[in-house]
Structure 1
Amino acid sequence: MASDHGTLGATPPKSSADYVEEKGFNDNLDPTRFLSEAHKTYLVERHGTLDIDPIPSMDPADPYNWPLWKKTANLSLVAFHACMGTFTAAAIICAYEDIAEDLGVSIQRVSYLTSLQIAILGGAPLLWKPLSYRFGRRPIFLLSLILSCVCNVGCAKSPDYASMAACRALVAFFISPAMAIGSGVVTESYFRHQRARYMGVWTLLVTLGVPTGPFIFGFVVQRVGYRWIYWILAITNAVQFILYLFFGPETRYVGGDIETRPSGVKHQYLSIRRIDPTPLKWTEFTHPLTLFTNIPVLLAAIAYSMVFLFASVLGSVEVPQLLQSKFELNAQQLGLQFLGLIVGSLLGEVLGGFMSDMWMNARAKRIGHKPVPEYRLWLSYIGYLLAIGGLAMFLVCTEDASQGVWNVKPVIGTGIAAFGNQVVTTVLTTYAVDTYPQDAGSVGVFINFVRSTWGFIGPFWYVDLILLYECLLMSTRFTSMFDSVGIAASSGVVAALIMGASFFPTLFLQFQGKRWYRHD
């Protein structure tokens, strides 16, 4: 393979992301015009075409040049790692009563063990993202898992509420990196025409963590007790750590002269060192928050987060509040009510991910060049309508159901809402990355921050938004809205908020978004 590297200099060839940053988004720009003939020959032999974006270097260690099985194995680990963040936070939902009785506190205080983790999952990646750029993704992921394992053991052994809350907070802090850095891993490994499909794997697992936790651990609580939740989480973290050692190579590719860089295997699996010598500045820890000034990314994050709040958070948090008391369910039966959210999310990813890429690729063939990122947004409207319809079905059928007589209709409603939520999740996340590909990691951190913050404060909302501040002080929950206007009537409030904060902002991006990042 020496000939493959002969022209590789100290500075790797620019990718299309570099051209976007320097010249603005230009669909008709041909980045291959900057390549040598040797480089073009290498790419054709490696990928079978020059029609790829971004353009990788001539180095086999470049993640874009990895074989598909290697990319897939690594993404599977990263996506499951991301899933463990929300999975761990939601794992104890079915055990609130057992924990309250064991520790001698109220169910309301036990619920804060979940809310606390949601809040930390949103802010912690601000620290991990700059460190992962300097030392690589792999060391951060390995450190994340081993420390999460230790802290989950601490949860299992906690004798009182305070120690359990402290351990839960530490678990959330250490398990959080993949929830945000995952977007960077996808962007560093897969070409643009594959991005929605594989970005969707990551976003799907983040979404699935919420309902899958109580679905699985409802059986555990019912049969062996809630403390086994923490033991199972610790064991899972340990297994993840071992798998990362063998199947989780480094995706942070800096380039440079391969003669002075560690060999491919050593660099990807064995090297624990600073791979980027650029000085670390404190502003990098808050840099993702500067995306509040990036209109396309900001509106996409807000639109997605509002749907996530209702179709995922409300659907998960209020299932115990509404269905357990309505149908008189035990922990195991309660866990089964989350099946609708799981099935809906899986089906939604087919449209949001795989079909989304087909949608964009078909458009590219028709017009002869890559379509603008806004073309992908057409699919999001399907997601909004399904989310609204599914939530309406969940709330109306829950109120109409007979006390003590189980009814499947509310579960079907959560499934339809979850389908819509997953379509929106993948489409808007991919759109945000497509408009700002030069820093996909910051996009992921920013979206995670907005989503988690929204998901944390959402359960404290009151139907009268003028009283929001008072509501926060009183620590009321979604149930305040249900008590004020009724469970069924609340569907109108939900629909209005999704239309106002999600549907119409997306419509604005559809026709005006390119003005904020394109410079012809």
Structure 2
Amino acid sequence: MGQLEEASDADVHGTLEAQISSPDDTSEKSRGVNADKPNPGDTWDWDSDPSNPYNWSLEQKTQQVMVIGWAAFTTSVGVSILSPAHSAFMEEFGVSSTVAILPLSLYVFALALGPVAGGPLSETVGRYPVYLGCMVFGTLFTLGVGFAPTFSGLCILRFLAGLCYAPTLSIAAGTLNETFQPVHRALPSAIFILTPFLGPGLGPVIGSFVVNRKGWRWTQWTQVFMAIFTLIQIALSRETFHPVIKRRRAKELGIKLPPSPPISSQIRLFVTISLLRPLHMLIVEPIVGFICLYIACEFATLFSFFAAVPLIFSGVYNFDPESSGLVFLAIVVGCLLGTVTVLICNIFLYLPKVAKHPGSQVPPEHRLYPALIGSIGLPIGLFWFAWTARADISWASPVVAIMVFAWGNLCVFVSTTQYITDVYQGLTVASAMSANGLARYGLGAAFPLFTIPMYTKLGIGWASSVLGFIAVALLPVPWVFFKMGKRLRAMSKYETVEI
């Protein structure tokens, strides 16, 4: 992601600047209703052009935030909204407990693969067609899941639904960057980052009530209703990808654009940026490799809760399906607290560093403050959950433990993502983030498949402790990068910041 934007943006913008230049200083206001269509004789300035998303009204920008927020929520709620249907699948289709987890795991696995093609495609045809196409086809496959007569058909359609929905998560960051200047990006970025975490937390809550009262197929109708609302929001939105907008402006001005790169070059670039380089960075780049491992393990732990929580709270505390679903509100509360923590660290720890170094970039290691705090919360939450989920201890204790884990998980994810973005430059950032997505969703798809057997054989205490020991083993990752990040950046085989 980002590769076609840099090339296209430079070509189109440079061509327009070169060909549309004259001493005519006629203002856009003086052109009245034609302000959006500058005359070829006028000086054209992209920075002040009304079609530039940076110059849109607050209402238009808010609309774009609603689009990416609802799209991310619709996609992420689909991960877990079917998790309360585990027993229903076993009864209706006659499958084992482990096999009944497949619809969840296949959807998550599809989220790892979808952005591979969706990201580059959005930088060829624009963001708007990708949002629209992905949401339409994802909704059709979700509709198919609701009508699926066989378990194998259900699994295939769930995978295809996740594959189509997935790009809406990967291109949202680009939409934000193209709509808001960096100084105004903090709040909309926080909203976007929060929505994909709220989806998995609220999915089981919604799903438990729907499955218990209407049947599991209604979980899919519920997601379809959300998708229809998202489609309405998309229909009211506009294209944000700058090169596409500039090409349209060039056509309005009658300017001949440079020829597009050959298809072979675009395919080669796609294979390099989206496939080969992410895998290479996972192996040879310590920063990318260890952060991806850390994020992947904690995301996988989060997804394992979708199988473990109903098992534990129904078996230990005799919760009914709806009450077990309500337990997942702890994840929502933890994510909200994590968002507040990230914003507080940004205001009181990171921005003062920026103020002390005006005009220069702050070392990326200062992005890690939330991760340093959150890394401690992760094992605390998991061990707390492990040894208090007992009949002689109130159910409230393990619920609060889940909240602590979710808080730490969001802090670590947001902080390390910002760190990677600041460390690498140019096209390398896209590859690093692609590696991150492949790792976290790939491992996240695998963990739920062995969660129930692990808890059944090891017991609640030791099974949860295994996850806690993993969190302890990976706890030093952000601390080591905070201390040795500059030295590791200097050793990198890729382009990194030098400060």
TM-score normalized by structure 1?
0.77
Partner of 2:396: 408
Provide the rounded CA distance (Å) in 2 between the counterparts of 1:506 and 1:307. Answer: 20
Partner of 1:302: 293
**2:224 matches 1:234:** yes
How many residue pairs get matched?
A: 450
**2:273 matches 1:287:** yes
Partner of 2:19: none
CA positional deviation for 1:72: 3.0
Provide the rounded CA distance (Å) in 2 between the counterparts of 1:223 and 1:360. Answer: 48
Partner of 1:176: 166
Partner of 1:139: 129
> 1:477-502 CA deviation, whole Å, 9 max, x = no partner?
54378449824643652333332556
Provide the rounded CA distance (Å) in 2 between the counterparts of 1:161 and 1:9. Answer: 50
**2:353 matches 1:367:** no
**2:82 matches 1:92:** yes
> 1:71-114 CA deviation, whole Å, 9 max, x = no partner?
23212321331232331121111111112212222232111111
CA positional deviation for 1:139: 0.3
1:498 equivalent among 470, 474, 482: 474
2:377 equivalent among 377, 386, 397: 386
1:24-423 matched pairs, under 5 angstroms:
57-246=47-236, 248-254=237-243, 256=246, 260-261=250-251, 277-280=260-263, 281-283=266-268, 284-285=270-271, 287-289=273-275, 290-291=277-278, 292-293=280-281, 295-310=286-301, 312-353=302-343, 355-356=345-346, 359-369=349-359, 370-398=361-389, 400-402=390-392, 407-423=395-411
The answer to which of 134-143 and 446-455 deviates more is: 446-455
Secondary structure at 2:316's aligned position in 1? helix
- The residue type equivalent to 1:303 in the other structure is Y
Provide the rounded CA distance (Å) in 2 between the counterparts of 1:359 and 1:197. Answer: 17
CA positional deviation for 1:140: 0.7
Secondary structure at 2:47's aligned position in 1? coil
> 1:144-200 CA deviation, whole Å, 9 max, x = no partner?
111112111111111111111121111111111122122222222333344454333
1:15-26 matched pairs, under 5 angstroms:
none
Give the RMSD, CA atoms, in angstroms.
3.4
**2:436 matches 1:447:** yes
Q: 1:256 to 1:95 in 2, by over 3 A?
A: closer
- Checking the alignment, whether the CA contact within 8 Å between 1:12 and 1:57 is kept in structure 2 is no
Runs of 4+ more than 6 Å apart: none
CA positional deviation for 1:241: 1.0
Q: 1:95 to 1:188 in 2, by over 3 A?
A: same
Q: 1:481 to 1:108 in 2, by over 3 A?
A: closer
Provide the rounded CA distance (Å) in 2 between the counterparts of 1:438 and 1:221. Answer: 47
CA positional deviation for 1:354: 6.0
Provide the rounded CA distance (Å) in 2 between the counterparts of 1:241 and 1:415. Answer: 32
Provide the rounded CA distance (Å) in 1 between the counterparts of 2:394 and 2:46. Answer: 56
- The residue type equivalent to 1:226 in the other structure is W
> 1:234-278 CA deviation, whole Å, 9 max, x = no partner?
1221221121010x3212111647753359xxxxxxxxxx99944
Secondary structure at 2:98's aligned position in 1? helix
CA positional deviation for 1:62: 2.3
- The residue type equivalent to 1:139 in the other structure is P
- Checking the alignment, whether the CA contact within 8 Å between 1:396 and 1:491 is kept in structure 2 is no
Secondary structure at 2:251's aligned position in 1? coil
The answer to which of 323-332 and 432-441 deviates more is: 432-441
The answer to which of 419-428 and 353-362 deviates more is: 353-362
Provide the rounded CA distance (Å) in 2 between the counterparts of 1:262 and 1:97. Answer: 59
Secondary structure at 1:368's aligned position in 2? coil
Partner of 1:458: 447
- Checking the alignment, whether the CA contact within 8 Å between 2:368 and 2:415 is kept in structure 1 is yes
Provide the rounded CA distance (Å) in 1 between the counterparts of 2:224 and 2:186. Answer: 32
Provide the rounded CA distance (Å) in 1 between the counterparts of 2:449 and 2:213. Answer: 32
> 1:21-45 CA deviation, whole Å, 9 max, x = no partner?
xxxxxxxxxxxxxxxxx99x99xxx
> 1:447-481 CA deviation, whole Å, 9 max, x = no partner?
221210121233467xxxxxxxxxxxxx9854378
Q: Which runs of no fewer than 5 residues in structure 2 stay unpaired? A: 1-8, 16-23, 29-44
- The residue type equivalent to 1:188 in the other structure is E
TM-score normalized by structure 2?
0.80
Secondary structure at 1:124's aligned position in 2? helix
CA positional deviation for 1:11: 4.5
Provide the rounded CA distance (Å) in 1 between the counterparts of 2:209 and 2:382. Answer: 26
- The residue type equivalent to 1:458 in the other structure is F
- Checking the alignment, whether the CA contact within 8 Å between 1:308 and 1:455 is kept in structure 2 is yes
- The residue type equivalent to 2:227 in the other structure is N
Partner of 1:518: 497
CA positional deviation for 1:353: 4.0
Provide the rounded CA distance (Å) in 2 between the counterparts of 1:351 and 1:496. Answer: 21
